[in-house]
Amino acid sequence: MANQNDPDMLDDFDFSGGIIGKYAKRFSEETNLVRLDEDVAAIFPTSEEVNAALRSLGEIIRHHENISPTKRSSVR
């Protein structure tokens, strides 16, 4: 039989001895979560794809930062 408050929670589950937020601090210190908008998540559905895209963008930014203003005008 399911729990009255949550139909997905079976009576077999007992969290009465649980501690709320026991691992929250450690998790927040070791994790950097970012929520993607739906259109972006559709293009990059996995964290690996998001990281690869951001690394590529980072390389482009670094490359353009290393070009001096006089060289930059000739690159365009």
Does residue 7 lie in a domain region? no
Whose structure tokens read 């929250």?
A: 24
pLDDT at 31: 75
- Determine, yes or no, domain membership for 75: no
Residue 43 lies in a domain: yes
Q: Is residue 42 part of a domain?
A: yes
Pinpoint the alpha helices (H) of the chain. Answer: 24-30, 38-43, 47-65, 69-75
> What pLDDT was estimated at residue 72?
53
Task: Assess if residue 49 is contained within a domain.
Answer: yes
Rounded Cα gap, residues 7 and 37, in angstroms? 29
Distances (CA, A) of 71 to 41, 60, 75: 36, 16, 6
Q: Which domain holds residue 58?
A: 24-69
What integer pLDDT is reported at residue 48 of this predicted model? 94
Number of domains in the chain: 1
pLDDT tens digits, the chain, 76 residues: what are they?
Answer: 555 677 787 878 888 888 998 888 887 777 788 899 999 999 999 999 999 999 999 999 999 988 866 655 555 5
In a domain, 53, yes or no: yes
